[in-house]
A and B are shown apart, each in its own frame.
Chain A
Amino acid sequence: MLNARLNIRDINKSYAEPVLKNVGLSIGVGEVHALVGENGAGKTTLARILAGLTDCDHGKMWLDGEEYSPKNVTDAMSAGISLAAQEPASIDNLSVAENIGLRQIPNRYGVIDRVQLDLITRKALDFVGSDILDSNIKCRDLNIADRQLVELGRVLADTSCLVILDEPTASLTQPQTERIHKILRDLAANGTSIIYISHRLADVLDVADIVSVLRDGQIVLSEQANLLTTDHLVAAMAGEGLKRREAMVCNQQKGRPLLRIESIATENLAGPISVTGCEGEIIGLAGLAGSGRSELLHAAFRAKKLTQGRIVRIAETKEVELKSSYQAVNNGVAFLGADRVSMSLFPGQSVKTNMMLPGDRKNFTPFRRIDRRKERKSTKEIMTQLDIRCSSVEQDIDELSGGNQQKTILGRWLNSDADVLLLNEPTRGVDTRTKKTIYDLIFELRNSGKCIFVVSSEIEELFLLASRILVLSNRKVVREFERNHWTETAILTAAFSEFTKDFRQEAGE
């Protein structure tokens, strides 16, 4: 029996909703412990708590028998815990060497000791088998796989007692992955404990000693890896048989087609993908983070360059090929980005301005005078309808809660003449009450004959909303489910399908 390196008990964390509920784990010395789970199950939050990036609401942790409560990253690092983040956090304008040595750049009276720095960098890069020759190259010039290796090198070359890797192999090729796995096993043999978070179930079973499954913020399974198969894991993540919200009856008749995606592909989306969206239809796009579901939505809006295919908007009398996102908007296609702050909000402006901005795009005349009375009136109507809480229509949008901001932005499309709505995570970061309001709104828009595409990390949300669901896995559309023909297990299996394939078999074929 291994000694426990890290013990955590009753960890709780809530944002708008509880993310982690009474999580307890024990990680032994020299153990590779994998954490798997659906999107939003709480894996990354747990990693961030351990690395001192976030604090937990309550709960206790012990590291090597001593109580451990990091207040910040420095605390965690000096305790010997380091994290390789999901998104490589490299500083673009610094060189590879400077990034790797950033925490403690060797210097003499503040002047960087180049020779020493290069030595450290070389060691780190060789350690992870990176083929970057020039350590003075700027990080912005690296591709995503190289950045990931730099991040891994930075973390792994340091001597830590616990290393947390969040999706370490997401962008790596199979040989690179194998090399990293070998390093992890060597490190573990020397007593380093490793927490390995990944969607790639084949990778997980390959490298881990113990696998724990998180579902809805709780550990539902903790088992030795050699006793598990990917099927076990998918079943545990899905947790079929638990209470599921009853799907709303929606056998709405499909109307005429509104948007046709014709065999498209992009740099990050293996094509050809074809989908046609019709009047009164909600199309759900499911998949794991990085599966290409957002990419598909962006491509449909022409916010991503297409390598093949075309997007056609079918208006009442004519068909228009969409060539830019401006053209898309002007032809009644609306888009909601996943990141509210950077993609949707106009900070420092009033609720009214934020809601009314896109306005009537079909009859656009720049010098037309705005009817301010009408604008106030329709803002107030939408505010009542969506139960948006603010002191007045003139209140600054920054002063509203996240849920109210989200409703304001969605309210835009009630006021617009858009017929096709592309919504990326429409309920991200809002509370349950607001979610319900947003669902009602989406149904209402559908009933009024709009065609809606919804990308969501929450499968339940898609079950509730969608008329049909397309599942993406590893940048491909792998399956399509009609309403009443899906189960959570089937969708999850499809979502993991391109990640569970054993690459070695593929290579042997």
Chain B
Amino acid sequence: MEAFKTIRCHLEENFIFVSLVLLIGFFGLVADNFLSLVTLSTVLNQLPALTVVTIGLTMVLMVSGIDLSVGSVLGFSATIVGVTLTGLGLPLSIACFAAVAAGLLCGLLNGVLVSWLSLPSFIVTLGMLEMARGLAYIASNSQTIYIGPSIQWIALPLPYVGVSAALFIAILLVIAGQFLLTRTVLGRHLVAIGSNEQAASLSGIDSRPYRLGVLAFSGAMAGLGGIFNAAYLGAADPNAGIGLELSAIAAAVIGGTSLMGGRGSILGAFAGVLIISVLQSGLVQIGATEPTKRLITGAVIVLAVLVDRWRVKERLRS
């Protein structure tokens, strides 16, 4: 009985992962080839960019901020990779460094405006969404820059390991992010600022450096996402990442992160990314058309929040 209770407790705690397994199981039963290597690698290959972007965004959501610019910053960073590699002929390491630096700079600018000038992050990052996309078009002259195998290997499975470098880095970042959020003083302070900024301030926690920090981090993560995107395509597309901010918000929210701040999990956000990817690949496999796919994905996002709300209420009642 006691054991059953513990299991039940764990199932509830890890509700999101249970849903993920159920979802995979469902598609496995319905679609013939879903549980195959091809599908698996398709799903996994799409993951890294969205994953790292979601990690950064979740950190911002923790302090009840938002970063709408991640998609554009990703596009901008991707073109930076293209320009440095193909245009300037510099080595990959420098290109990667430049891409992350570009993302970090965008994030820092967001952060300074939000924390020191007290502007709402929604507006500031909405502005950055436009500006970064503009920069991406300028840098690439609005053309897709072909790069080729010199970068593609990042997104391809490594020999003997079976996992691509990009996915490996993304998973490492998930673990590091989760650790940071739940086990360190810094994570606690983010939670405090997100759940009650005044109380945090009266406890001596100055929210400004944290607000700046999370936005800068989110920018850098979008920069990294730009590298992964370019690697996946083998080209730098200035249109890369359009609408990605919405997928990232959806993934974070599915993973139990509150848009009001103070509540969230990087691991949960990763599960959210997986759920979205599995759902989309699975729906394609069972022959769903693009419109149906969007309809169902949208419904799942709202459903996830509803279920979450219901669970919190249930817990409060018991």
The interface of chain A, by Cβ under 8 A from chain B, is 301, 303, 325-326, 328-330, 335, 337, 342-349, 353, 356-359, 361, 364-370, 372, 396, 398-399, 412
Additional pairs, 9, CB under 8 Å, beyond known A325-B202, A348-B262, A353-B191: A337-B198, A344-B202, A345-B199, A346-B192, A356-B188, A366-B189, A369-B183, A372-B183, A412-B203
Return the chain A residue nearest B262 by Cβ: A348
B262 pairs with A396, CB closer than 8 A: no
Q: Interface residues, chain B, CB within 8 Å of chain A?
A: 180, 183-186, 188-189, 191-192, 195-196, 198-206, 258, 262-263, 315-316
Q: Which residue of B lies closest to A342 (CB)?
A: B198
Task: Decide: A357 and B198 in contact? CB cutoff 8 A.
Answer: no
Residues of A within 8 A of B186 (CB): 366-367
Instruction: State the majority secondary structure of interface residues on B.
Output: helix
Q: Tell me which residues across on chain B come within 8 A of A335, comparing CB atoms.
A: 202
- CB within 8 Å for A337 and B202 given contacts A346-B192, A370-B185, A372-B183: yes
CB-nearest residue of chain A to B210? A366
Most chain A CB neighbours (cut-off 10 Å) among B188, B204, B263, B315: B204
Q: A343-B198, A345-B199, A370-B185 are in contact. Are A326 and B262 (CB under 8 A)?
A: no
Select which of A325, A347, A365 is within 8 A of B196 by beta carbon.
A347
Contact among B185, B199, B258, B315 for A368, CB-based, below 8 A:
B185
Q: Assess A329 versus B185: contact at CB under 8 Å? Given A347-B196, A348-B263.
A: no
Q: Which residues of chain B are within 8 angstroms of A337 by Cβ–Cβ distance?
A: 198-199, 202
* Residues in chain A near residue B188, CB distance under 8 A: 353, 356-357, 359, 370
4 closest A-B pairs by beta carbon, nearest first, are A329-B204, A366-B186, A358-B203, A346-B195
- For the complex, give the distance between the alpha carbons of A328 and B315 in Å: 38
Within 8 Å by CB of A343, from B202, B206, B258, B262, lies B202
Give A129 to B50 CA distance when docked, in angstroms. Answer: 63
Q: How far is the CA of A328 from the CA of B201 in the complex (A)?
A: 11
Identify which of B185, B200, B206, B258 contacts A359 (C-beta below 8 A).
B185
A330 in contact with B204 given A346-B262, A398-B316 (CB within 8 Å): yes
User: In the complex, A198→B61 CA distance in Å?
Assistant: 46
A298 closest partner in B (C-beta): B202
**Chain A: minimal CB distance from B310 (Å):** 16
Complex: chain B residue closest to A358, CB-CB: B203
**Are B204 and A358 in touch, CB under 8 angstroms?**
yes
CB distance from A343 to the nearest CB of B (A): 6
CA distance A349 to B316 in the complex (A): 13
| B262 CB contacts on chain A under 8 angstroms | 346-349
Contacts of B203 in A (CB 8 A): 329, 357-358, 412
7 contacting pairs across A/B (C-beta < 8 A): A303-B202, A325-B202, A342-B198, A346-B192, A356-B188, A357-B192, A367-B185
Closest Cβ of chain A to B208, distance in Å, is: 10
Q: A346-B262, A349-B195, A353-B191 are in contact. Are A325 and B184 (CB under 8 A)?
A: no
Would A364 and B185 count as touching, CB distance under 8 A?
yes
CB neighbours of B316 from chain A (8 A)? 396, 398-399
CA distance A359 to B203 in the complex (A): 9
B195 neighbours in A (Cβ, 8 Å): 346-349
Of chain A, the residue at the smallest CB distance from B317 is: A399
- Complex formed: what's the CA distance from A37 to B219 in Å? 59
Nearest residue, chain B, Cβ from A422:
B202
Contact A367 B184 (CB under 8 A): yes
Find B204's partner among A325, A343, A370, A396 (CB 8 Å cutoff).
Answer: A325
CA distance A401 to B126 in the complex (A): 42
A364: nearest chain-B partner, CB-CB: B185
Contacts of A372 on B, CB cut-off 8 Å?
183
A324 to chain B, nearest CB (A): 8
- Give CA–CA (A349, B205) in the complex, Å: 17
The answer to whether A346 and B191 have CB atoms under 8 Å apart is yes
CB distance from A413 to the nearest CB of B (A): 11
Please give, as numbers and ranges, the residues of chain B lying within 8 Å of A365 by CB-CB distance.
185
State the CA gap A344–B195 with chains docked (Å): 11
Q: Assess the B204–A326 pair: CB atoms within 8 A.
A: yes
B196–A342 contact, CB under 8 A? yes
Which B residues touch A366, using CB under 8 A? 184-186, 189
Chain B residue contacts of A368, Cβ below 8 A: 184-185
Decide: B199 and A343 in contact? CB cutoff 8 A.
yes
Q: Which of A370, A399, A412 contacts B183 (CB 8 A)?
A: A370
Task: Quote the shortest CB–CB distance from B260 to chain A (angstroms).
Answer: 9
Least CB distance, A28 to chain B, in whole angstroms: 46
Smallest CB gap from B260: residue in A: A348
User: How near does chain A come to B130, taking the closest CB pair, in angstroms?
Assistant: 29
Report the bound CA distance from A256 to B185 in whole Å. 33
- In the bound complex, residues from chain B placing their C-beta under 8 Å from that of A328 are 204
| Max chain A C-beta neighbours (<10 A), residue from B188, B192, B196, B202 | B202
When distances are taken between beta carbons in the complex, the residues of chain A under 8 Å from B192 are 346, 349, 357
Q: Which residues of B contact A356 (CB under 8 A)?
A: 188
The CA of A419 and the CA of B131, in the complex, are separated in Å by 50
Please measure, in the bound complex, the distance between the C-alpha atom of A353 and the C-alpha atom of B188, giving whole angstroms: 8
Task: Identify which of B183, B191, B196, B262 gathers the most chain A CB atoms within 10 Å of its CB.
Answer: B196
Which residues of chain B are near A346, meaning CB under 8 Å?
191-192, 195-196, 199-200, 262
Complex-state Cα separation, A54 to B71, whole angstroms: 51
Q: Give every chain A residue within 8 A of B205 (Cβ-Cβ).
A: 326, 358
Distance A303 CA – B204 CA, assembled complex (angstroms): 11
Q: Which of B192, B195, B203 has the most CB of A within 10 A?
A: B203
A330 to B201, CA, bound (A): 12
CA distance in complex: A493, B206 (Å): 41
Cα A478 to Cα B231 in complex, Å, equals 74
Which of B189, B199, B316 counts the most A-chain CB atoms under 10 A from its CB? B199
Q: Could you tell me the distance in whole angstroms from the C-beta of A468 to the nearest C-beta in chain B?
A: 25
Note all chain B residues with C-beta closer than 8 A to A326: 201, 204-206
Measured in the bound complex, the distance between the Cα atoms of B206 and A329 in whole Å is 11
Q: What's the nearest-Cβ distance from chain B to residue A323, in Å?
A: 12
Report how far A342 CA is from B258 CA in the complex, Å: 19
- CA–CA, A369 and B205, complex, Å: 18
Set of chain B residues within 8 Å of A348, measured between Cβ atoms:
195, 258, 262-263
CA gap between A346 and B62 in the complex, in Å: 13
Distance in angstroms from A146 CB to nearest chain B CB is 27
| A369 vs B186: C-alpha distance when bound (angstroms) | 9
Q: Which of A346, A347, A349, A364 has the most CB of B within 10 A?
A: A346
Complex-state Cα separation, A357 to B196, whole angstroms:
12
